[in-house]
Chains A and B, each alone.
Chain A
Amino acid sequence: MGETIKFLPPLAPVLARRQAIIADLKDLLPPECLVHEERALVPFETDGFIAYRNRPLCVALPGTTAEVAAVMKYCHRYGVPVVPRGAGTSLSGGAIPETDAVVLGLSRMNRILDVDPANRTATVQAGVTNLSISDRVGPEGFFYAPDPSSQLACTIGGNIGMNSGGAHCLKYGVTTNNLLGVRLVMADGEVVDIGGKALDSGGYDLLGLICGSEGQLGIVTEATVRILAKPEGARPVLFGFETPEQASACVSAVIGSGIIPVAIEFMDKEAIAICEAFAHAGYPLDVGALLIVEVEGSDAEMEDMLQKIIAIARQFEVKTVRESQSAMEAAAIWKGRKSAFGATGRIADYICMDGTVPLGQLTHVLKRTGEIVEGYGLRVANVFHAGDGNMHPLILYNINDPEEAAKAESAGNDILKLCVEAGGCLTGEHGVGIEKRDLMGFQYAGRDLAQQMAVRAAFDPDWRLNRSKVFPLEARSA
Chain B
Amino acid sequence: MRQFHYPRSEAEAADIVRSHVASGTAMKIAGGNTRALMGNPVTADYCLRSTSLSGIVQYNPAEMVMVAKAGTPVREIEAALAEKGQMLAFEPMDHRAVMGTSGEPTIGGVFAVNSSGPRRLSAGAARDHLLGVRFVNGKGEVIKAGGRVMKNVTGLDLVKLMAGSHGTLGFLTEVTFKVLPAPPVSETVLISGLGDAEAAVAMATVMGLPVEASGAAHLPVTVRHRYLNNRLPEGEATVFRLEGLKASVEARLAKLVSAVAGFGLVSRIAGPESRILWQEIRDCRAYADGTSRPLWKVSVAPSAGHRLVAALRLEAGVDACYDWQGGLVWMRMESDPEADVLRAMIRSVGGGHATLVRATDAVRSHVAAFEPQAKGLAALSARVKASMDPSGLFNPGMMG
Contact = CB atoms under 8 A, between A and B. Distances in A.
B3 interface: no
Contact of B299 (A116, A174, A202, A449): A202
Given A357-B149, A455-B161, A470-B155, A206 B208 contact: no
Given A198-B300, A199-B324, A258-B182, 16 more contacts: A121-B301, A142-B208, A198-B301, A202-B299, A203-B399, A204-B384, A205-B160, A255-B63, A297-B251, A357-B149, A358-B148, A428-B152, A448-B144, A451-B137, A451-B387, A456-B156
B155 A449 contact: yes
9 contacts: A199-B324, A205-B114, A304-B248, A358-B63, A428-B151, A429-B153, A443-B147, A443-B155, A454-B388
A233 to B, nearest CB: 9
B187 to A, nearest CB: 15
A19 to B, nearest CB: 33
Nearest to A251: B62
A215 to B, nearest CB: 12
Smallest CB-CB A-B distances: 5 pairs: A208-B160, A202-B353, A258-B181, A197-B301, A428-B151
B343 to A, nearest CB: 11
Contacts of B153: 162-163, 212, 427-432
Interface in B137-177: 137, 141-145, 147-161, 163-165, 169
Given A117-B208, A177-B128, A432-B153, A260 B374 contact: no
B390 to A, nearest CB: 9
Interface residues of B, number: 86
Contacts of B355: 202
Interface string A206-229: 111101110010000000000001
A458 B324 CA distance: 33
A306 to B, nearest CB: 12
Contacts of B300: 197-198
Contacts, number: 276
Given A198-B301, A202-B353, A359-B63, A232 B152 contact: no
Would you call the interface of chain B mostly helix, strand, loop, or mixed? Answer: mixed
Contacts of B252: 297-298, 301
A176 B388 contact: no
Nearest to B354: A202
Interface residues of A, number: 96
A360 B160 contact: no
B181 A440 contact: no
B73 interface: no
Contacts of B141: 447, 451
Contact of A176 (B137, B160, B373): B160
B124 A208 contact: no
Contact of A196 (B157, B160, B352): B352
B247 interface: yes
A465 interface: no
A203 B355 CA distance: 10
Contact of B160 (A120, A209, A216, A297): A209
Interface stretch (A127-135, A150-158, A187-195, A372-380): A187-195
B262 interface: no
A203 B371 contact: yes
A385 to B, nearest CB: 8
A312 B225 CA distance: 46
B233 interface: no
A106 interface: no
B272 interface: no
Given A202-B371, A455-B161, A455-B387, A358 B65 contact: yes
Given A440-B155, A454-B388, A230 B374 contact: no
A169 B128 CA distance: 12
B263 to A, nearest CB: 15
B302 interface: yes
Given A200-B125, A212-B153, A389-B151, A301 B352 contact: no
Interface in A419-476: 423-432, 436, 440, 443-445, 447-449, 451-452, 454-459, 470-471
Contact of B61 (A193, A256, A427, A449): A256
